[in-house]
Every structure is written in structure tokens, then in C-alpha cells.
């Protein structure tokens, strides 16, 4: 169980940081709130986030199955990855409960 917690912790933090970058760096530039010349420098953010979020989902499913969580709790853990800070908050709750 310790390995699953560690994998989930890493992916929750990485996914949370990438989501923060996506929402608060990439999207304002893309929508034109900031100079659009910066877009070429941050085009990697949605691509990396797009590859890492499915890995977060798989690690959340793996952890929830190992912990024998019910389906709704597992879905809550997966959906926590869709909001920038929610995956980090979910990681803290998991670590507090299982460590």
C-alpha cells in the first residue's frame, strides 16, 4: 500500500501543478489577456497536462482499488484531478488517512 500512496502522491502533485499552469498561465495567454507572443513559449503546457492526467487517473484508480474504496469515493478522487487545487487537497487527505 505504501508504493500506491507514493505513486498517487507524486501524480496528484504533478497533476495539480500542471493544472495550475494550464488554468493560470496558458489559458490567459491563449485567450488574449496577456501578450500573445508568449504563446509559443508555453505551448508545451496543455500537451504535458494531456499526457499526465490519464496517468493520474490510473494511479487514482489503482490506489482506490487497493484501499477498497467504493465507486463514488473513487470517482471523487478522479474528479479531484480536474480542478487545479483539488488534486493536491485530495493527496493531503489520502496521506493523512493512510500514513
Which mean pLDDT values do the consecutive 10-residue runs of the chain (99 residues) have?
A: 91 94 91 77 92 95 95 94 90 89
| DSSP string across 33-78 | SS-GGGGGGSTHHHHHHHHHHHHHHHHHHHHHHHTT--HHHHHHHH
pLDDT at 98: 85
pLDDT at 32: 80
pLDDT at 1: 83
Domain carrying residue 10:
2-98
Instruction: Please tell me the pTM assigned to this model.
Output: 0.88
Q: How many domains is the chain built from?
A: 1
pLDDT at 93: 92
pLDDT at 34: 72
pLDDT at 69: 94
Amino acid at each position: 500500500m505504501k508504493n500506491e500512496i507514493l505513486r498517487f502522491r507524486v501524480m496528484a502533485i504533478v497533476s495539480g501543478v500542471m493544472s495550475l499552469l494550464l488554468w493560470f498561465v496558458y489559458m490567459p495567454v491563449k485567450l488574449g489577456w496577456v501578450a500573445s507572443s508568449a504563446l509559443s513559449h508555453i505551448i508545451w503546457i496543455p500537451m504535458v497536462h494531456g499526457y499526465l492526467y490519464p496517468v493520474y487517473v490510473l494511479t487514482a484508480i489503482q490506489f482506490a482499488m487497493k484501499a477498497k474504496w467504493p465507486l463514488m469515493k473513487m470517482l471523487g478522487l478522479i474528479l479531484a484531478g480536474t480542478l487545479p487545487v483539488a488534486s493536491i487537497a485530495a493527496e493531503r487527505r489520502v496521506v493523512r488517512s493512510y500514513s
